[in-house]
Amino acid sequence: MAQHTFTIPNISCGHCVMAVKNELSEMPGVTSVEGNPEDKTVMVDWDAPASEDEIRAKLQEINYPAA
C-alpha cells in the first residue's frame, strides 16, 4: 500500500474536501481519502492499479490540482 499527502491550494471548505474524496474514492485501488480544509491537504492511501500519477491527473481533471 502507498500513501501520500497532497497539498491542494483550491480546497477552501468541507464541501471541497467531499468533492475530492468522492472523486478519488471511485478510482480503482484507492482505499482511503481523508482531507483537511484548514491545511488544504488530502491524504490518500492506495494499492495497484492506482498510482500517484493517476491520482494527480484525476485531481487536475476535477479542478483541484495538487501543488
The string of pLDDT tens digits covering residues 8-37 is 999 999 999 999 999 999 999 999 999 999
Q: How far is residue 8 from each of residues 23, 36, 48, 49, measured CA to CA in Å?
A: 14, 10, 23, 23
Domain boundaries of the chain, sorted by first residue? 2-61
**Residues 31 and 47: beta-carbon distance below 8 Å:** yes
- Side chain identity at residue 47, one-letter code: D
Average pLDDT rounded to a whole number, residues 38-54: 97
What pLDDT band is residue 7 in, cutting at 50, 70 and 90? very high
CATH 3.30.70.100 for domain 2-61, yes or no, is yes
